[in-house]
Chain A
């Protein structure tokens, strides 16, 4: 399979080719790559691509994955509708 067809981040459609291109440009931290390519910023919040990206970065920079800083896990853990949050509040208007 070609690199332009290998998807690393499914939510944001980021290919291996794009990841390699930004690493080539000198963006060698997960935090930078996430923000430039949106890899891991989609609906699943990097559930699959976080490890794939980590592995690619480790390979490309010849670093042990343990020595690479992983991007922050941010709340909420799962996507949640606003109505669900409002429903949990004691507010007549929204119940």
Chain B
């Protein structure tokens, strides 16, 4: 392992890898990523990997649009010999309450003002897109054909390999166990495989970010929340877009290989527990067959769980820590960190190198919680 680095990125998920690639490709030398386990062990390797522009705040719309544009060209940008399998089948958002219909109208207006090509549909019109949809109880839908999903493993692999080609080092099974701070500045990082001296660290440790922050004496308000998910056997393609209902609390999509992936967001206690439960499967089957009765005959192959890295307002935390010089934060994505990964890497690299950022990130700083300037996003599962 290297003895010194210009920057040590803690966490080898999509955020850490994307930051590493963006720093190294902009010429930063000695970029190191430390991952305590195997490369896909964090939330990124457990996620639904949906990517959308249909959001309810200006911030998320801007991030969503920019990140989508990167995904569209990511194979070429990263010179990836394989394929990240970005499929733009759209997201079909289903409103089942009047309140949601009102919110959707506002969202569409906002999205249009930002150049996002979303449309409002009647349930009957939605049938043209998803003929198998049971529209009973659905009041209205919105659809954006630019939304979609990618293969999270391949996306991570693409970033990891591109980062390495630009000189970054990625050490797996290397856990940060201590962080040295002197006179309020970062001095170095202790791991189970040795010590690296550095003046800059990036906390991109997903649901573990608070614990890593504490090693440096920085408060990073992120808590872990378990979310479960399952995958079915592959069947013929019947579902183009991702189906999503906020009030119905469900997301469901069909992969390019034919498997369905689905989950919902139960209110859970703060936990690092990622075991799967039977309860989840039962409720999931009810929800899935309610929207797609067709699912009755489809077999479940595997279930698993991962952690959302929740921030107090469910928005990303990007920027600097306040307590110690040299501590950068890229966390708190609250269940949307996969899609934001590409733009996170770009913005954080620009920020760390002192360039103007492509999109303003000052409102996403950790200080907003103390100032009481929380950002409220109405459209989340």
Chain A interfacial positions (CB closer than 8 Å to B)? 25, 27, 29, 31-32, 35-36, 41-43, 45, 72, 74-76, 79-83, 85-86, 89, 91, 94
- In the complex, how many angstroms separate the beta carbon of A56 from the nearest chain B beta carbon? 17
Query: Are A45 and B38 touching (Cβ within 8 A)?
Result: no
In Å, the complex CA distance between A43 and B235 comes to: 11
In the assembled complex, which residues on chain B have CB atoms less than 8 Å from the CB atom of A43? Answer: 233-234, 299, 301
B277-336 residues at the A interface, CB under 8 angstroms:
278, 281-282, 285-286, 288-289, 295-304
Pick the residue among B172, B289, B299 that contacts A86 (CB under 8 A).
B289
Query: Are A31 and B285 touching (Cβ within 8 A)?
Result: no
Query: Are A89 and B297 touching (Cβ within 8 A)?
Result: no
In the assembled complex, which residues on chain A have CB atoms less than 8 Å from the CB atom of B297? Answer: 81-83
Pick the residue among B41, B154, B172, B303 that contacts A36 (CB under 8 A).
B154
Query: Are A82 and B303 touching (Cβ within 8 A)?
Result: no
Residue of B nearest to A46 (CB): B302
- Interface footprint category on B: 20 to 34
User: B276 within 8 Å of A by Cβ?
Assistant: yes
In the assembled complex, which residues on chain B have CB atoms less than 8 Å from the CB atom of A32? Answer: 38-40
Pick the residue among B38, B40, B296, B304 that contacts A81 (CB under 8 A).
B296
Query: Are B303 and A76 touching (Cβ within 8 A)?
Result: yes
Pick the residue among A35, A42, A94 that contacts B289 (CB under 8 A).
A94
In the assembled complex, which residues on chain B have CB atoms less than 8 Å from the CB atom of A91? Answer: 286
User: B80 within 8 Å of A by Cβ?
Assistant: no
Does more than half of chain A's interface fall in helix, strand or loop, or is it mixed? loop
Query: Are A82 and B288 touching (Cβ within 8 A)?
Result: yes
In Å, the complex CA distance between A45 and B161 comes to: 28
In the assembled complex, which residues on chain B have CB atoms less than 8 Å from the CB atom of A72? Answer: 304
- In the complex, how many angstroms separate the beta carbon of A78 from the nearest chain B beta carbon? 9
Query: Are A79 and B301 touching (Cβ within 8 A)?
Result: yes
In the assembled complex, which residues on chain B have CB atoms less than 8 Å from the CB atom of A81? Answer: 296-300
In Å, the complex CA distance between A6 and B27 comes to: 43
In Å, the complex CA distance between A75 and B101 comes to: 37
In Å, the complex CA distance between A17 and B85 comes to: 22
Query: Are A82 and B289 touching (Cβ within 8 A)?
Result: yes
Residue of A nearest to B299 (CB): A79
User: B45 within 8 Å of A by Cβ?
Assistant: yes
